[in-house]
Structure 1
Amino acid sequence: MTINCKGSLIDLSTPKVMGILNLTPDSFYDGGKYKDESQILYQTEKMLQEGATFIDLGAYSSRPGADHISIEEEENRILPIVTLILSKFPNTILSIDTFRSKIAKQCIEAGAAIINDISAGSLDKEMIKIVGALKVPYIMMHMKGTPQTMKSLNQYDNLIEDIQLYFSQKIIEAIKEGINDLIIDPGFGFAKNIDQNFELLNKLDLLNIQEYPILAGISRKSMIYKSLNINPSESLNGTTSLNTIALLKGASILRVHDVKEAMECVTLFHRYKGQA
C-alpha cells in the first residue's frame, strides 16, 4: 500500500502522520495563529522534526458555517507559502487542502505533492480530471453540501452504507480519469452529528472494503470537546484517545494539529501489534 509523492514511494501499510498548517484566520482551532513567514516556517520545521510525513496546507476554512472566500484570496494565501516552505525545506511532502482545481494545479506546479479535497470533486467538476492529469495522490473526503450548508445535511438511510456507496462512485470516477493513488477520508464532522461521528469511528474498519488507505481527521474536533464539555484548546488528550482507536480500526494516516502526540500513538500502536 504505497503512494507516489514526486518520485518517492510512501508506504502506508505502516501508519503515517499528516501535520495541519492552517493559513486561515477563522479555522476552529488554530485560525490566525500562523500570520507571518517566521511563524509558518517555525511550525513547519517543528512538525517535520516531530515526525510528520506530510504537511497539509489549507487556506480555505472548512469548519461548519465558515465564510466563503474568493479563489483569488485563496490563491494569494496559499501559493506564496508553498514556495516559502519548499525553499526552506525542499524535501517536504506538501498536501494541499483545496476543493478548487485551479488552486490544486498551481500548487502542484509550485512543488506540492498531494491534493486533499473535502468534496471529492463535488464542488469543482474539473478537479478529478485535473488531478488525473497531474498524476498526484488524491485524498477524497466524504461530505454533503458545502462548509456553509453541511451542518443541516446529516440525514442518512444507513450512515456506513451511504458512505461506502459514495466512495464506490467517486473511486470509479477517479480511476477513469487516471488517478492511481487514492486515499479516502470519511469526513469526521462533515455533515455528521456527534453520534454519527462516533458510529463512524466505531465502524471505520468497514471502509477497508474499498481497499484504499484511510485518513482519519479527528484532531480537536467537536465530537471530542463537546462530548467532554471542554474547549478545543483542551482536547489534546481526547484527540490522542480517538486517534488510537482510529489506528486500531485501520487508519493509515492521522491528520493532526499535534504531531508529537500522534507519533507517540503510532509508536505504541506498533508495539501493540508486535512491529517494534
Structure 2
Amino acid sequence: MIIEISRDYLRAEMEKVNAHPASFPIFERKADIILLKVFDVPSPGANVIKQEMLSLGGDAVVHKNAVDCKAEMSDIILMGTKKHYEALLNKLEKVNYFGLKKLREELDEYFKTKRPDHIESPWGRRITFESTRLMGIINVTPDSFFAGSRKEGLKEVLEAASDMVENGADILDIGGLSTRPGSEPVEEEEELKRVVPAIKAVRQEFPQIPISVDTYRARVAKEALDAGADIINDISGLQFDENLVKIVAEYKAPLVLMHIKGTPRDMQKNPHYGDVVKEIAEYFCERMEFAIASGARPEGIILDPGMGFGKSYEHNLEILSRLKEFKSLKKPLLIGASRKTFIGKALGDLPPEERLEGTLAVTALCALNDVDIVRVHDVKENRRVLALVEAVKCQRHS
C-alpha cells in the first residue's frame, strides 16, 4: 500500500515511522518546496539562475526563448527548499551583472521579512493573528447593498454591536458612507454626523473591542480616532484623500489598504486586468511604499484585495483561489466577501438576503488558507464556521 501524506502531518507520520527526533527539522525543511515568481530578469541572468538552481537540486522555469536570448527579459518561477534558496543566495553574493544583484537583494529581503503577528492601536488595544479574526460590519447608512447591515440611530447601532460582541466579533467596522457599485458619496459633514456618534457610543459601551472606521476621508478618520476608533479601513488605498496618510502617520494608527480599480461609481463597468493577481500585488507594493514613506508604521499595514471593487465574477474567484500569493507579501490579509454579488452569481443569481451559506463557504476557505481577518455581516454564523475550521487545523499540531 502507498498513500500520499499531507505536509501538515509530516511530523506525526515521522513519529509513527520511529525516525530519530533530531532528524525532524531536517526532513521538514526538505519537504517544503517554495515556489517563488520573480519578474523582468534579463535573459542571461535567467539562464544563470536556471543552471544554479539545477546544480543545487532545485529548478527554475524561464521563458522558452531565454536560453538563446531571443527574449530580452524573462520572468522566473523558482522551485526549491529553504536550503536551496540559502545556497543560491550564497552563490549570488558577489555577482553584480545581468540584473542578479537586484534579484539577490529581493530574495534576501523576502526571506528576512516576517509577517507581523499582531497590530496595536494608538490606544493600546491589540489584535493578534494566531487564528482568523472576525470583523463585524455596522453600516450607519440608509443605502448599503445589504439591507440587514443598515443601522439608523444609536439604539440600533448599540444593539448590533452588542449582538456582535456577544457572538464573538474581534473587531467592529463602522462606516457611514456606502461604497456599493454605482453609489455616489455623501457630503463629508453627513458622514461625520453618522460615524462619530456611533463610534463614541460603541466605545463607551464596549471599552475593549477594537473598532475600525470605514472611510477614505482624512477629517472623518481623525474625528473617528479621537472618538475611540483603532483602525483606518480605507477602500481607496490612500488614493481619494491625500491628507489621510498624514492622519495615519500622526496617530500611528493601523491601516487597511484596499485595492480598488476606479471609484464606487464606475468600478464595475467592465473591469479588465492582464493578470489580476500580479496587478493587485503591484498596487499593494506601490501603496505600501507610499504609506511608509509618508510615516505610516510598516507593522500596522493590513492588505485587502477588494473583492467586488473593480473585479469581475472570474476575478473574485481567482483571488480566492490564490490567497497564498497575497499572503506572500508578508502583511496581515483581510478578505471582505460577505454577501457580495459574485457569491449570489455562483449560487444561481441569488439576492443579498440569500447569500449567507455562500458567505460561510468563503469564510471556511479563508480560514483554511490562514487569512487573518474576514469582514462579515453575520457574526454568529461565521464564528461557528471558524470554530470548526480551527478545531480541524489544531489536529495538524496535536
* TM-score class, shorter: over 0.9
Q: 1:13 to 1:153 in 2, by over 3 A?
A: farther
> Identity of paired residues, percent?
37
Deviates more, 1:91-100 or 1:1-10: 1-10
The CA RMSD over aligned residues, in Å, is 1.4
2:236 equivalent among 110, 114, 119: 119
Counterpart of 1:50?
167
Measured after TM superposition, the shift of residue 110 of structure 1 is: 1.2
Tell me, in whole angstroms, the C-alpha distance in 2 between the residues paired with 1:70 and 1:8. 31
Counterpart of 1:139?
256
Residue aligned with 1:210, SS = coil
Deviations 1:138-175 (A, max 9, x none): 00100011100111261111000000000001111122
1:201 equivalent among 320, 325, 329: 320
Counterpart of 1:8?
125
Counterpart of 2:380?
260
Tell me, in whole angstroms, the C-alpha distance in 2 between the residues paired with 1:150 and 1:221. 14
Matches within 5 A, 1:166-181: 166-180=283-297, 181=300
Measured after TM superposition, the shift of residue 267 of structure 1 is: 1.2
Q: 1:104 to 1:191 in 2, by over 3 A?
A: same
Tell me, in whole angstroms, the C-alpha distance in 1 between the residues paired with 2:270 and 2:187. 24
1:99 aligns with 2:216: yes
Q: 1:218 to 1:87 in 2, by over 3 A?
A: same
Deviations 1:104-123 (A, max 9, x none): 01110111110000001011
Counterpart of 1:69?
186
Letter in 1 for 2:240: L
Higher alpha-carbon Rg: 2
Measured after TM superposition, the shift of residue 270 of structure 1 is: 1.3
Letter in 2 for 1:187: G
Deviates more, 1:102-111 or 1:77-86: 77-86
1:25 aligns with 2:145: no
Structure 1 residues without counterparts, runs of 5 or longer: none
Q: Is the 8 A contact 1:23 1:31 kept in 2?
A: no
Deviations 1:56-107 (A, max 9, x none): 0010001000122111111111111111111222222110000001100111
Tell me, in whole angstroms, the C-alpha distance in 2 between the residues paired with 1:203 and 1:216. 12
Kindly indicate whether structure 1 or structure 2 has the higher relative contact order, using CA contacts under 8 Å at least 6 residues apart: 1
Counterpart of 1:248?
368
TM-score by length of 1: 0.96
Letter in 2 for 1:81: A
Tell me, in whole angstroms, the C-alpha distance in 2 between the residues paired with 1:147 and 1:38. 29
Letter in 2 for 1:256: V
Counterpart of 1:216?
335
Letter in 1 for 2:303: I
Tell me, in whole angstroms, the C-alpha distance in 1 between the residues paired with 2:150 and 2:250. 34
Tell me, in whole angstroms, the C-alpha distance in 2 between the residues paired with 1:247 and 1:32. 23
TM-score by length of 2: 0.67
Q: Is the 8 A contact 1:82 1:111 kept in 2?
A: yes
Matches within 5 A, 1:73-88: 73-88=190-205
Structure 2 residues without counterparts, runs of 5 or longer: 1-116
Residue aligned with 1:219, SS = coil
Measured after TM superposition, the shift of residue 126 of structure 1 is: 1.3
2:356 equivalent among 236, 252, 255: 236
Letter in 2 for 1:266: L
Letter in 2 for 1:199: E
Tell me, in whole angstroms, the C-alpha distance in 2 between the residues paired with 1:246 and 1:15. 8
1:190 aligns with 2:306: no
Residue aligned with 1:21, SS = strand
Q: Is the 8 A contact 2:135 2:172 kept in 1?
A: yes
Question: How many residues of Structure 1 are paired with residues of Structure 2 in the alignment?
Answer: 276
Residue aligned with 1:152, SS = coil
Tell me, in whole angstroms, the C-alpha distance in 1 between the residues paired with 2:120 and 2:209. 14
